[in-house]
Structure 1
Amino acid sequence: MLNILLAKKYAAAMFELAQEENKLAQSDKQLAQIGRLFDECVGLKAFMDNPQVAIQAKKELMKKILSDDFDQSVVNFMLLLVDKHRITLLTEIITSFHALSNEAQGIQLAYVRTAVALTNDQKAGLVKKLENVTEKHIQLRERIDPSLIGGIVIKIGDRLIDGSVVGQIKSIKKQLMANC
């Protein structure tokens, strides 16, 4: 619980800085890139999480990795995380930052599960309908789930829309059981 609160504080601080510098989208993209790097490179994560490795060695490695491709405020933020021994919270910090960034930019994530892949036209139509309902820009996160048999399940924020065949069968079953 304490780690989540700390992660949110660091994310909020970076969010405010990115907003002040008018680099919110850029910082969000760069932090996501760093997060993917840490996820893909197990050795890097182990090195940075190791308390026996000197902070200066961690900072030097971070500077080499981030070099010229990253905004200086993102580099400084990562070095601060190393200094304060908070690099272990990187995933939570990036997740919190991304949520703040999406909110500020009016972006809403929609998690979509379908039995088969949607065509580009279907995706565009779905995005348009969801944007009309939410009055926000929608980013789809798709997943194929053959167990749905057919239809679609959409999760936006705390809303769940189940239009799958399996969901309809469960609903009918529930109604039949209630009437018996």
Structure 2
Amino acid sequence: MTELSTLARPYAQAAFKRAKEVGAAGVWSDSLAFLAQVMQDKALQAVVDNPRVEKERLLQLMLDISKGYIHDEAENFLKILIENDRLKLIPQISELYEQYKAEDEGYINVDLYSAYPITKDEQKKFVTSLEKLLSKKVNATVKVDKTLIGGIVAKAGDKVIDSSISGQLHQLEKRL
């Protein structure tokens, strides 16, 4: 995963730089998110992985799939990715782009993992605590992870705040 992020970083930076130049950060965000979602399809991944599929045919397929969902500059970006055999990096590019966008706009995206669904009031309490801790506005997404047993894990970029029971048990195991 780290290697893919390293390869994706220059593309994400270029996309973000261009989006800032033309004032289209949201449009780029939508286009990259759509392409990342498209790349999750197993049948499409098989086509992308097939060395017998010519780049021109792959480009035409991707343009047909995304017609009306991505803007012209994103189509050009897609062409560059295909020419450089970097199409599989789109999910990482999209993720990095969102991090750059969030940082630029003064907020941070945080994934909250809980063993059980949490209420809006509990989420608001966690978000308020994280905003104080991180000194930024927090945009939180809550996900359920039964392996945590209890508690919360917050992931903000490369920072992880683990207050889960399974995390505490792991720390206790390390100390023993």
- Normalising by structure 2, we get a TM-score of 0.80
C-alpha change, 1:110 and 1:64, in structure 2 (3 Å) is same
2:99–2:109 Cα contact (<8 Å) kept = no
2:68 is paired with a residue whose SS is coil
Percent identity between matched residues is: 29
- Verify: 1:118 aligned to 2:106, yes or no: no
- Answer whether contact 2:116 2:146 (CA < 8 A) is retained: yes
> Is this contact kept in 2: 1:49–1:87, CA < 8 A?
no
Separation in 1 of the partners of 2:173 and 2:51?
Answer: 55
Question: Match for residue 60 of structure 2?
Answer: 60
Contact 2:4-2:89 at 8 Å conserved across structures:
yes
Q: Deviations over 1:131-163 (max 9, x none)?
A: 233232212232323454433233334544343
Equivalent residue for 1:137? 137
Q: Following superposition of structure 1 onto structure 2, how do residues 85-100 of structure 1 map, counting pairs within 5 Å?
A: 85-100=85-100
Give distance in 2, aligned partners of 1:14 and 1:32: 13
Q: 1:89 to 1:115 in 2, by over 3 A?
A: closer
Shift of 1:77: 0.6
Q: Which moved more, 1:66-75 or 1:89-98?
A: 89-98
Aligned counterpart, 1:108: 108
* CA–CA separation in structure 1 for the residues paired with 2:111 and 2:33: 18
Letter in 2 for 1:161: I
Cα deviations by residue, 1:47-87 (Å, 9 ceiling, x for unpaired) = 23323212221222122112123211111111121123221
Measure the CA separation in 2 of the matches of 1:55 and 1:166: 46
- Distance (whole Å) between structure 1 residues aligned to residue 124 and residue 20 of structure 2: 30
Tell me whether 1:83 sits opposite 2:96 in the alignment.
Answer: no
Residue in structure 2 matched with residue 35 of structure 1 by the alignment: 36
**Deviation of the 1:26 alpha carbon:** 2.2
Match of 1:51 in 2: 51
Q: Are 2:19 and 2:28, in contact at CA under 8 Å, matched by a contact in 1?
A: yes
- Runs of 5+ unmatched residues, structure 2: none
- Which has more radius of gyration? 1
Determine helix, strand or coil for the equivalent of 1:88: helix
- Cα distance change of structure 1 residues 61 and 125 upon mapping to structure 2, 3 Å threshold: same
Aligned-residue offset at 1:16:
0.9
Equivalent residue number for residue 9 of structure 1: 10
- Matched to 1:78, the amino acid is L
Supply the AA of the counterpart residue of 2:102: N
TM-score normalised by L of structure 1: 0.78
Match of 2:26 in 1: 25
Find the aligned partners of 2:14 and 2:123 in 1 and give their Cα distance. 35
Please give the alpha-carbon distance, in whole angstroms, between the structure 2 residues aligned to 1:62 and 1:172: 50
